[in-house]
Structure 1
Amino acid sequence: MREIINFNTNWIFFKDWNDNIKTEKLNNGENVTLPHTVAEIPIHYFDESDICLISGYQNIFNYDKNKFKDKRVLINFEAAMVAAEVFVNGKSFGEHKGGYLPFVYDITDKLKDGDNIISVKLDSTERKDIPPFGNEIDYLCYGGIYREVQIIIVDEISIENIMITGLANQNIIGKIRIRNSKKENAKETISINLYNREYHICEIKKEITLKKDELFTDIEIDEHIDSDRIELWSIDNPRLYKLEVSLSNEDLMYVKIGFRDVKFTEEGFFLNGEKIKLIGLNRHQSFPYVGYAMPKRVQKKDADILKFDLGLNIVRSSHYPASRHFLDRCDEIGLMVFEEIPGWQHIGDKEWQKLSIENVKDMIERDFHHASIIIWGVRINESQDNHDFYKATNETSHKLDKTRQTGGVRYITGSELLEDVYTMNDFNYDGIADPIKAQKFVTKLDKNVPYMITEYIGHMFPTKMQDCEERLIEHTKRHFEVINAVAIDKNIAGSIGWCAFDYNTHYNFGSGDRICYHGVYDIFRNPKLASGVYSSQISRENKIVLEPITIYARGERAIGGVSPLMIATNCDYVEVYYRDELMAKEYPASGKYQGLIYAPVIIKMEVNIPGVSDMGWGDMKIIGYIDGKAVAEKKYLNNPSFKDLEIKADDYEINSIKEGSSWDSTRITVKAVDAIGNRLPYINEAIIIEVSGEGELMGNDNPVLEGGYYSFWVKSNNKNGSIKVTVKNKRVENKTIEIKVK
């Protein structure tokens, strides 16, 4: 039977590679647990070359020849940035090029009885021969073995991969790959079992023949499941089923699948035959300080923010394949995914292109089973046309997956359409021009085609959490204008804005401090005012939203006051009280925003609420109503002052490091608030963070609040107990919370 050994603990990291790491057991490096980054970096104004190293990793694997007799030992790296050469007892398995997808080696024949040195020479420089590199790119690719590693013990005949998805007609389609290391012809029986939770739905058996001279054999699967227990996977009912594959030698693997149909047409996007307007944002998988090196819990939390806090139905994994944990969570919660190959504008030489085509193959083979993935991105983001190259990427995708369409994200008009869906980065809107370009103007075709906007706003209007209110309002308006225009256009499948979270980048991009402030959330996953554009579109049966787009200050705007006041809400109407006197009752501006289910409320109150010249600034209260009942309320003080630090953890219980397992982590958010809990956006004082117990702080222990916020992550160690976190500022009372570790 198969045995999976998590191989994430007891790695020794060497910041500089030397050949002794291959053959000698060394103790002069740093003991680390995966996921790992080669260097933690500050948030602002760092030297990005700090993460461009040629470094080394070493671990010891104890091999018992008797225990593992007639077994094969595989090692699986889920990702390492950017080129990894793996050695076992000094013997090389060659260099794997590419930082976003897994690679597996059969290391059996290089093992000896007892301790074996497994080492990795990791080149994290921006090599011109590996996508996405070759020119400047607007994001960082952080060095490190930043995803997990497993040792997999299997029989000489074993299951290598399950590439199966479910269709709405209850068919399962795809293939199963079998590894034959026996080097003999063999007959084998594959059993496919489908489970609805613990209930067994059906079993399918297939007899196969394996040839001695073929290491891998792909078995095509196209079978019908006749069961009344199959529910379709959808964004509101993301039903998943366990599909288990086994061999006669009891080797067993499983994946989670959903049954659904997805289709982009000239009329829009359809899920299970129902037309759905796609509304989403792009996501970079990077985090403060540690870059890509975040564990399962934190990866899944990003998906939760996008689905439940922002109310999105799609995310684009810009500009590379995402963590399997993130994709698993998208499957679980009904968040659709546009997944694409690594790249940004630049196309390299023929060898570079060959590697990119290999990325298409590896991405689809790893992620084929994910119900959430609805389209493959097979073009280098914002690149020029290249007929032969993109013909090959599309052919590769269609050969591997006949159930999903392809897209290719471009920014030039009239670009050749080789994909199934014309996917366009539309940055037309500058506050004056039309919010989006006409489809036929973009495509230069005389007919409509399947069409989706894949970026907008972003660099056209970067906005910081602590920016002035007028900029925050304009940022919000621009997002409203674009999603409204997309909603009105019946021939656009939807749009995916740039972007969800601010992110670190190279010096030549963003604001010069190594951050692109393009998100509707900041780099720490805290919401800017523009996030209300998306959250306000959540069905009010799921969440009531009342988000006034203001910080409420008499003299913050150029003309003073807070009029006109925009309120992002899914309420029927709102009432505004000034000094406890009703000043306005207003309904959503549905005439202006005709495409939106929940248009924002816009209140003009120049007459009723004084501006900058009035010295008697008063308190304000906004109440949202549904069916005539008050369901939400927001208050503002006329004289806010710093009264407290709110401190909140995403999770109050995390896991300790077990032998072989990854570390666990949770985010803690600190917010400076006034007497009634409103964030103070312009406070920039330092706080002191103290962490004790069974964990440690990631990043800075003496940061400055930005926009009234600061968030940080704590990570577990290998002991059970608790992590005590205390946050201090001399103006307010210290705050302490406790995270259980078990």
Structure 2
Amino acid sequence: MERIEHYDWNDGWFFTPRYDPALLGPEIGGLDLEPVRLPHTVKVLPFNYCNENDYQLVSGYRRVFTAPKSWEGRTLLLTFGAAAHDATVYCNGQRVGHHACGYTAFTVNLTNAVRLGQENILVVRCDSRETLDIPPFGGQTETLTYGGLYRGVSLDVKENAWLRDVFIQAGADGSFRIYSAAEGETVGCTLEAEIRSPSGRRAAYVGELSLPINGTLNGVQPWSCEHPTRYTLTVRLIRPGTSGLPDRALDQKVIRFGFRTIQFVAGGLYLNGVRTHLRGLVRPQSYPYQGYAMPDSIQRLDAQILRKELGCNAVRCVCPPSPAFLDACDELGLLAFVEMPGQQHIGGPAWKAQALQNCREMVCQYRNHPSVFLWGVRVPGSADDEAFYKKTNEAARRLDPTRPTAGTHRAKKGQLLEDVYAYDDFSFAGAGPGCLPRASVTPDLRRGYLISGYGGMMYPTKSFDGNAQRLSQALRYGAVLNDAAAQQGVAGSFGWCMTDYNTHPAYGSGDRVSYQGVLDLFRNPKLAAAVFASQKPPRVPSDIVLEVSPAAAFGDMPAGYPGGCWAFTNADTVRVYRNGDFIAEFSPDRQGRFAALPYPPIQIDDFVGSLLEKYEGIAHSEAVQLAGCLNAMRRDPNIPSPLLRARLGRLLRALRMDESHLIRLYQTYIGVLGGPTASYRFDAVWKGRVARTVVQEPAQRVRLECTVRNAILTDGPTWDCAAVSLRAIDQNGSLLPYCSEAVQLSVEGPAKLIGPSVVPLRGGMAGTYLATDGVAGRATLHCKMEGALDTEVSVIIRRREA
């Protein structure tokens, strides 16, 4: 094993946006080359109003390296994490590889092209034009597709025999089967496998190359969403010693995996024999400015947001994601539905052949991840194609018999060649059932069924939209989540989508942003995010979620009516106070519209309580009735109904009041446009104690909150990046959604900004990214905004040498 070498080749590259064959030679002439580090995007784009034509380039990457003579007799394998979208690799002018998928990794063999003891020239021709006849192109893609070497690159120097692939099938009962594939001079070689438990217990096995290694490990802890226990498999390729010499380990692969069993039936998904309801979101893998090109720490952060902040137990990946993202899913217990690349369009024979190859690569590269529970073997939203989809299903089942297949349909009763009918159900328009009856959609009720997409385009909502729009989006997500959970046989649902994303001009809001996410582009939460976050079961007080739609934003509503008020929480109850006076304590309605949710949103529908008794001296019985009438008038933006008018008439006569008294009471205890504004306090009560508080009152001062999500960065083997969130908040820490001031950003220390140095707040929120530049130390981001005190955050950068 001492002769196995691994090098991360993410530094030392030069880039040109215009590929030129002169890159292949030692003299590059007048080519203008820019030094870059990977991951890299061919074009940094603005936040919105970007132009997709800017990244549609035939670009070039060049790296010069010296190959030591110690590499003689060795095998040189160069692996690209992803190249968007068509890549041709040259070494010293010799074509050594080609790959036509922008979402899977590929490896080229440099052995015969490298000149030992000399400088060598490595060149990648990268074509990111959307006219390519490969997936996802050919039709109109919705999401932007970007370009470049946007994942890492590594070189492995191996012996003349090496392990190409290792796959372990591991069931919840501890049984396993290890498959391996080796290349090179493997005659006489054997395998050694070792499984190590989290506690350090080890079990060793031996086998032959041509046969799987079978066994059973006793006392295993199965991988699940609640307990994502991972084991470590090490497989070594052994060449037996001769003439008294010891055996030699030529190569090894180390894999983190989990013991678990997946079964989809008509009743839903069973993980390790336990019914598991899926509550997830679709994840676009793009980011502001950089597109796809973000380092591993930012990829992992998305998984953490989904699992820890949004409380999801599943994610749908509409193309093969970063391995770092799936590593985090494995670690966190986040189930992943991974789909082959494509968007609705199916091309001709060459296109289909490439799509089938993409499907094979997807399965082979991700099948050891315990989080992956379902393969998407249809181009999302495409029409039926029996011959083509028989091949993709056969390929997935042959390469991985442990997982079911699915494919997202846009049509009812489509052809079902997969194990699970996945349907994009965008039927809900704000009223009626949140989703269609399963029997009206799937052609086979004996198979598994899930809702692969909902929401999104039906009600796109910007973070700076009015309160009614933001609340309506949240309640719509809640309705579909509820009805999917309530309907028997629906395994779960995936909301479209996790984040806003840049898009083509035929989609989105005209500024090339699709505002369909529950988070904005910077991963700041909209109100709808609280619908998901509030479904997390709390374990400690800090787990309590409380988000409340505005209670008294009269000027934000038509005709000055305050509209509905809802609390999204996983607490037991919510107590409401007005100007310090207790109003009422509200509990979830376990029989109402959202009864199927673990933690239904709570409607706050009483803003008077016993205040009429306390301040007006009205007797209890009449006070309760009059408070009910005032609250009903608050909820009804129209003229009171005849029934309500009759009730009010009787009450006013009994209390010897006229209509002017009623108007004064309404203005005092409900409030009107132009009148005094009350201060409301909402306390989330959990296990008898207040765990979280929200205060809504007029803003007295504006503060700029700057939060860094990952404050410790590691530069090496590539650049790292900190995600920074910016929010305008009031004296109580409440978001100011209509603050749109510009924030000036500057960096002190060994880091640089990604994106502009001046960013506007949108919906009171914005963000930025701090990228390392190869030096260790402390970097500080300074933030300035008119009308608020300056603020700053710091990150610590560690340097790890290759």
Which TM bucket (shorter chain)?
Answer: over 0.9
* Residue 763 of structure 2 is aligned to residue 707 of structure 1: yes
1:224 and 2:280 are equivalent in the alignment:
no
Residues 591-610 of structure 1 mapped to structure 2, 5 A cutoff: 591-592=591-592, 593-605=594-606, 607=630, 609-610=669-670
Gaps of 5+ in 1: 209-218
Match of 1:247 in 2: 237
* Match in the other structure for 2:92: 89
Deviations 1:223-275 (A, max 9, x none): 222333x2110111100011001122321111100001111110111111110
Distance 1:552 1:56, change over 3 A: farther
Does residue 51 (structure 1) correspond to residue 50 (structure 2)? The answer is no
Of residues 612-621 and 12-21 in structure 1, the stretch that sits farther from structure 2 once superposed is 612-621
Task: Show CA shifts across 1:524-564 (max 9, x none).
Answer: 10000011111111002151111112375232122535453
- In the alignment, what sits opposite 2:652? none
Q: Tell me if the contact between 1:170 and 1:225 (Cα under 8 Å) persists in the aligned partners.
A: yes
**Which deviates more, 665-674 or 642-651?**
642-651
Find the counterpart in structure 2 of residue 570 from structure 1: 570
Using a 3 Å threshold, how does the CA distance of structure 1 residues 243 and 444 change in structure 2: closer, same or farther? Answer: closer
- Distance, in Å, in 2 between the alignment partners of 1:81 and 1:409 is 24
Partner of 1:133: 137
**1:692 Cα deviation after fit:** 2.5
Question: In 2, Cα distance between the equivalents of 1:240 and 1:364?
Answer: 20
Rounded to whole Å, the distance in 2 between the matches of 1:730 and 1:631 is 34
**What is the alpha-carbon distance in structure 1 between the residues aligned to residue 286 and residue 749 of structure 2?**
27
Shift of 1:432: 2.3
- What runs of 5+ residues in structure 2 fail to find an aligned partner? 239-247, 608-629, 632-668
- Is the 1:564–1:605 contact (alpha carbons within 8 Å) kept by the matching residues of 2? no
**Counterparts of 1:626 and 1:647, CA distance in 2:** 29
Q: Deviations over 1:50-81 (max 9, x none)?
A: 0100000000121122x112210110011000
Residue 701 of structure 1: how far off its partner (Å): 0.8
Judge conservation of contact 2:560–2:672 (CA < 8 Å) in 1.
yes
Q: Which has the larger radius of gyration?
A: 2
Partner of 1:666: 722
CA distance in 2, matches of 1:432, 1:135: 33
Q: For the Cα contact (< 8 Å) 1:376–1:405, is it kept in 2?
A: yes
Could you say what secondary structure the match of 1:483 adopts? Answer: helix
1:612 partnered with 2:684:
no
What is the aligned-residue identity percentage?
A: 33
Tell whether 2:387 aligns with 1:331.
Answer: no
Which residues in structure 2 correspond to 1:12-411 (within 5 Å)?
Answer: 12-24=14-26, 26=28, 28-65=32-69, 67-113=70-116, 114-180=118-184, 182=185, 186-197=187-198, 199-208=200-209, 219-221=210-212, 223-228=214-219, 230-248=220-238, 249-250=248-249, 251-318=251-318, 320-411=319-410
Match of 2:642?
A: none
- Report the alpha carbon displacement of residue 173 of structure 1 after superposing the two structures with TM: 2.9
State whether residues 469 and 551 of structure 1, in contact with CA within 8 Å, keep that contact through their aligned partners in structure 2: no
Structure 1 residues 288-339: Cα deviation after superposition (integer angstroms, max 9, x where no partner): 0000000010000000000000000000002x10000000000001000000
* 2:695 corresponds to: 635
Query: Cα offset for 1:449?
Result: 2.4
Contact 1:193–1:200, Cα closer than 8 Å, also in 2: no
- Classify 1:551/1:104 alpha carbon distance in 2 versus 1 (closer, same or farther; 3 Å): farther
Deviation at 1:201, TM superposition (A): 2.1
How many angstroms apart in 2 are the aligned matches of 1:174 and 1:200?
19
Structure 1 residues 508-527: Cα deviation after superposition (integer angstroms, max 9, x where no partner): 11111111111000011000
Tell me: CA distance 1:261–1:575, structure 2 relative to 1, closer, same or farther (3 Å): same
| Structure 1 range deviating more: 712-721 or 611-620 | 611-620
Could you tell me how far apart the structure 2 residues matched to 1:736 and 1:485 are?
44
CA RMSD of aligned residues (A): 1.5
Using the TM superposition, give the Cα deviation of residue 448 of structure 1 relative to its aligned residue in structure 2, in angstroms. Answer: 4.2
TM-superposed deviation, 1:172: 1.9
Does residue 650 of the first structure (1) align with residue 709 of the second (2)?
yes
CA distance in 2, matches of 1:672, 1:594: 35
| Matched residue, 1:505 | 503
User: How much does 1:594 deviate?
Assistant: 2.0
Q: Which moved further from structure 2: 482-491 or 534-543?
A: 534-543
**AA partner of residue 688 (structure 2):** G
Q: Are the counterparts in 1 of residues 150 and 294 from structure 2 also a CA contact under 8 Å?
A: yes
Residues 410-454 of structure 1: CA distance to partner in whole angstroms, max 9, x if unpaired? 111110000000000000100124211111211244x34210000
Post-superposition shift, 1:400? 0.6
SS at match of 2:560: coil
For the residue of structure 1 that corresponds to 2:796, the secondary structure is strand
**Superposition deviation, residue 222 in structure 1:** 5.3
Asked if structure 2 preserves the Cα contact closer than 8 Å seen for 1:590 and 1:599, the reply is yes
Partners of 1:451 and 1:493 within 8 A in 2: yes
Matches within 5 A, 1:470-549: 470-541=468-539, 543-549=543-549
Point out the structure with the larger helix share. 2
- Look up the SS of the partner of 2:384 in the other structure: coil
1:692 maps to 748
Is the CA contact 2:416–2:443 (under 8 Å) kept in the aligned structure 1? no
Question: SS of the residue aligned with 1:74?
Answer: strand
Aligned residue type for 1:334: G
Q: SS of the residue aligned with 1:732?
A: coil
Q: 1:19 to 1:614 in 2, by over 3 A?
A: closer
How many residues are aligned here?
721
Match of 1:683 in 2: 739
Report the Cα distance in structure 1 between the residues aligned to 2:359 and 2:177, rounded to whole angstroms: 19
Equivalent position amino acid for 2:546 in 1? L
CA contact (8 A) 2:485 2:597 kept: yes
Letter in 2 for 1:73: L
Residue 728 of structure 1 pairs with residue 784 of structure 2: yes
Check whether the contact 2:741–2:786 (CA below 8 A) recurs between aligned residues: no
Distance 1:549 1:391 in 2: 49
Letter in 1 for 2:23: I
Aligned-residue offset at 1:733: 1.8
Q: What is the rounded CA distance, in whole Å, between the counterparts of 1:513 and 1:741 in structure 2?
A: 36
| 1:212 match | none
The letter for the 1-side match of 2:344 is Q
Separation of aligned partners in 1, 2:107 and 2:569: 49
Q: Which amino acid letter does the alignment assign opposite residue 598 of structure 1?
A: Y
C-alpha distance in 1 between matches for 2:378 and 2:32: 44
| Partner residue in 2 for 1:211 | none
How many Å separate the matches in 2 of 1:260 and 1:178?
26
Instruction: Write out per-residue CA displacement over residues 629-678 of structure 1, whole angstroms, 9 at most, x where no aligned residue.
Output: 222211111x2144211111112221224xxx210001111111111221
Provide Cα deviations, 1:688-710, integer angstroms capped at 9, x if missing partner. 11113111000011111101111
State whether residues 202 and 225 of structure 1, in contact with CA within 8 Å, keep that contact through their aligned partners in structure 2.
Answer: no
| SS at structure 1 position matched to 2:218 | coil
Partners of 2:182 and 2:573 in 1: CA distance:
60
